Chains A and B, each alone.
Chain A
Amino acid sequence: MIVRNMTEIKGTPVADNHSPLAQFEIKRLVPIEVGGYDISFTNSALFMVVVVLAITLFLSVGMSRRAIIPGRWQVMVESVYEFVAGMLHDTAGHEARKFFPFVFTLFMFVLGANLVGMIPYSFTVTSHIIVTFALALTVFLVVTLVGFYKHGLHFLSLFVPKGVPVVMLPVIVIIEVISYLSRPLSLSVRLFANMLAGHTMLKVFGGFVAALGVFGILPVAFMVALTGLEFVVAILQAYVFAVLTCIYLNDAIHLH
């Protein structure tokens, strides 16, 4: 991940250690600079590596025995596979099966990043909009390329809804183009905002515990429930990200 304005972040500390936002701070672990760009290995990059390793471990250890009667771990791996395959099939149809590796990778990465972020003292990769935006932009580019590859210039008819009077057409087309271009933004903002809000909320309530003394037990009880909710959000947002990718793929493949 390229972090260009690292000096700005370092020069003006956004948050001290007790701030609810301190958990989102990017720290340089191995400073690297190439051609004026700061491409340091940061804590964000470290946790991306951790997520990828965890997913690889989960999948390869789970499938190492390849038993006909699966064990617990193999059942988990197989049901994740079945889940994504079914979702892709239900939303984007039979032809979309080629994109299974793409959707599965996206789903597993977002899910892994969200869940690793739930471990105390870890870093939530998906709480940074640049990460989610890069993911969403990848989806956007893939979908657009697939659309043009499959339909050629006919893909542009996506921007021309049926039954619109000719007078209104220029305005409608511009609106449709803006709406299409806003997809990567809404996709990334949704994931980022959910992760950021949830983790900040947990930290804020954590601050109440110390401040309230004996009555701190109340926020603790609330935080237990909130942590459960955060796990639901972590899984749900990964699902939403993947299912919207499927919906966009469906648009590109079937064109209305």
Chain B
Amino acid sequence: MTNRGDEPGTPAHKREGFEARLEKALSRGKAKPSARLNETSAFGIATRLVAELVAGLVVGGGLGWFLDRWLGTSPWLLIVFFALGAVAGISNVFRAARQMNAIRTPEETQKSDDRSEHDRDKGDPRGR
């Protein structure tokens, strides 16, 4: 019948044609996931990091205490595992900090240009 794309007042995304839109939707599906965590408030960052540190210490200490009770080696494993838990907690903190920093790396600022464009088009609720 008529070519709908030429009608005035047709939204831009309709003029693009079905094939192109399908292509776009499919490629969006295959995009590589980026493990990023947007934490906006300083309080949020602080609680996140503290929780990571404390969790490592508690799990390490608890594991040592449990093994001590089980193997009857008190208090040696508690001491060893507490230290290991501290290391695990600190490495957790570094990992979490790196995840949060990943948002502000140069790669991100480079991308931010086309992303903001994209967000404006779609009214993306996640746009920051």
Contacts and interface: CB of A to CB of B under 8 A. Distances in A.
Interface residues of B, number: 37
A189 interface: yes
B20 interface: no
Interface stretch (A5-13, A36-44, A86-94, A114-122): A86-94
B55 A185 contact: yes
B41 interface: yes
B40 interface: yes
A226 B44 CA distance: 15
Contacts of B87: 175
A254 B34 CA distance: 12
A247 B39 CA distance: 14
B85 A93 contact: no
Chain B contact surface mostly: helix
B84 A174 contact: yes
Interface in B55-106: 55-56, 58-60, 63, 81, 84-85, 87-89, 91-92, 99
Interface size class on chain A is 35 or more
A193 B91 contact: no
Given A82-B125, A89-B33, A250-B33, A185 B58 contact: yes
B52 A178 contact: no
Interface stretch (A14-22, A53-61, A205-213, A236-244): A236-244
A190 interface: yes
A2 interface: no
A214 B16 CA distance: 65
Given A171-B84, A186-B92, A190-B47, A83 B37 contact: no
Contacts of A93: 32-33
Contacts of A92: 33
Contacts of B39: 236, 240
B52 A83 contact: no
Contacts of A217: none
B126 interface: yes
B42 interface: no
